[in-house]
Structure 1
Amino acid sequence: MHHVISGQGPVVILIHGLFGDLDNLKALGKELEEQFTVVRIDVLNHGCSPQVASMCYESLADAMAKLIRELDCKEAILIGHSMGGKIAMATALNYPHLVSKLVVADIAPVAYQSRHDKVFAALESMPLNDLKDRRQALAHMQSCGVDDGTAQFLLKSLTRAEQGFSWKMNLEGLKASYADIIDWPTFSGNYQGPCLFVRGGDSDYVTAEHRQAIMIQFPTVKAKTIEGTGHWLHAQKPAIFNRIVKDFITAD
């Protein structure tokens, strides 16, 4: 798995969400690298990481466990947003001895309904070879009904090619794996280590109906809500998000 390492101290691994890459949590990484060894990863099928056929959470947890061992550390703190939060949770549930603390940003350990049909349609219909610039790409996303904030985020994965542009992510692989990405498997045990869930006050990704599923799988959980933020809480109020995360992972 492609990754970038900075800082020194206990290992913290930052895991981005669907359609993202290792730059998504870069601001948090900078905040932490004075006290921690920060590892920002490209999730499989994203950025510069290998393309894979399966993105079920058991296999993604296996890949995370392999990375932790390759980093030659006994255990790591995992911080994940959205899909990255699910990867962090799956790793903590299947490999609890490798995860010292867990932070999950705006996602619950449950299966979700499909909510990215419009995004996939916009990405797949992008005229990559004919694009002249990013402004044209943004106009295409807007014409497909994708809001500006989401469009700007998605276009971070657009990179110049010999002719036109290309996607850094493996779009075909992500679409093929989408059913697994929104699903949540049944895990046999729970994670007893320190655990923090941070949700956006305006987001519908983590609601009261998810409380029981969270408590059963993560019985020591603490929860924080950042008011005035949606699903992209770490980008909308980075100073508050970064402080909440840092306070939690530095506490004894």
Structure 2
Amino acid sequence: MTAARHQESLNTLSVGTTGPRIAFLHGLFGQGRNWMQIAKAVSGPDGTDARCLLVDLPDHGRSPWSREFSLDAYADAVAGALSGAAPGEPWTVVGHSLGGKVAMVLALRHPDLVERLVVVDIAPKGYGSLERFEGYIREMQELPLADLTSRADAEDRFDEPDPGVKAFLLQNLRRDGHSWRWQVNLDLVAGDAALGSGSRIADWPDAVDDLPPFPGPVLWIAGGDSRYIQRQDAERMRRHFPRTRLFTIKGAGHWVHTDAPEIVVTALRRVLHAHA
């Protein structure tokens, strides 16, 4: 199995050498590496089953920051990364949460790039605000970066009781010389959260409602214990993606690929097998 970095404007990491191409988009506060376990399994033990591209979205990971949030701009940036990685080749695109929204907008704005779509635990709608993330944002803002002596020190000082959430958020902490910084654009996210119900990150862009429906097949994966997808979302989903099939994984929460990785891998392999 090989892993190689690309030099497009967005930071990406590739896994696998041959086979159909599949791109992975992470959620808010995440990075492409969050999909590494899934990508290694999908690409196979010798890396020849699929060619996976793990993408750091704008304002996340090692990708450039933007001045204001825009789902359209995020989708266009991903389109540039996919076109640069494999000019003229179609992709299966997998997106979770925020990455799922970006994947949907990408498919609607750039249908020539996307052959198949997998949307994980998110719907094409506005979610009101970033209220669910406000506590995490506050914890990150209150961490005294200038006083940190080590990553262990950061872990001790970081006020988050859930060890999984703590590890997920602290993956954004990076040493910069003798100091520490957040690699996620925390000021942008915090500013957006302060907009309340006007949050752009939580919203869905009305402009895409005027675009033609995406003609390709879509696997819509929901966590059985998550509330991000509701029954009434199906009508809106099929308006944009008429070839949608909903797959609910019992016992999984919002981070479906973390809670049930084997099931997600099996589902993705079936998607790629249909591609073949």
TM > 0.5: yes
Asked whether 1:182 is paired with 2:202, we answer: yes
Superposed CA offset, 1:188-211 (max 9, x none):
221120100111111111111212
Asked whether 1:15 is paired with 2:38, we answer: no
Q: Which residue of 2 aligns with 1:40?
A: 54
Q: C-alpha root-mean-square deviation of aligned residues, in Å?
A: 1.8
Displacement of 1:9 after TM fit? 2.2
Superposed CA offset, 1:20-47 (max 9, x none):
1111000111122232211111111111
In 1: Cα distance, 2:176 partner to 2:147 partner = 11
SS for the counterpart of 1:74 is: coil
Q: Which residue of 2 aligns with 1:203?
A: 226
Given candidates 94, 109, 129, the residue that maps to 2:146 is 129
In 1: Cα distance, 2:149 partner to 2:262 partner = 35
Q: Report percent identity of matched pairs.
A: 33
Asked whether 1:104 is paired with 2:119, we answer: yes
Q: Which residue of 1 aligns with 2:5?
A: none
Superposed CA offset, 1:208-247 (max 9, x none):
1212111211111011111111111111121111111221
Displacement of 1:136 after TM fit? 4.2
CA contact (8 A) 1:202 1:227 kept: yes
Range that drifts further, 208-217 or 100-109: 208-217
In 2: Cα distance, 1:217 partner to 1:146 partner = 39
Amino acid at match of 1:159: R
Q: How does 1:162-181 map to 2 (within 5 A)?
A: 162-178=177-193, 179-181=199-201
Range that drifts further, 182-191 or 65-74: 65-74
In 2: Cα distance, 1:146 partner to 1:164 partner = 25
CA contact (8 A) 2:32 2:61 kept: yes
In 2: Cα distance, 1:136 partner to 1:203 partner = 33
Q: Which residue of 2 aligns with 1:233?
A: 256
SS for the counterpart of 1:27 is: helix
Instruction: Indicate how the Cα distance of structure 1 residues 70 and 177 shifts in structure 2: closer, same or farther if over 3 A, else same.
Output: farther
Q: How does 1:22-61 map to 2 (within 5 A)?
A: 22-33=32-43, 34-61=48-75
Superposed CA offset, 1:170-195 (max 9, x none):
21123335522111012122112010
Aligned length: 250
Amino acid at match of 1:13: A
Range that drifts further, 226-235 or 123-132: 123-132
Amino acid at match of 1:25: W
Q: Which residue of 2 aligns with 1:119?
A: 136
CA contact (8 A) 1:118 1:146 kept: no
CA contact (8 A) 2:57 2:78 kept: no
Asked whether 1:94 is paired with 2:77, we answer: no
Range that drifts further, 167-176 or 22-31: 167-176
SS for the counterpart of 1:24 is: helix
In 1: Cα distance, 2:142 partner to 2:152 partner = 16
Displacement of 1:111 after TM fit? 0.4
SS for the counterpart of 2:248 is: strand
In 1: Cα distance, 2:162 partner to 2:237 partner = 30
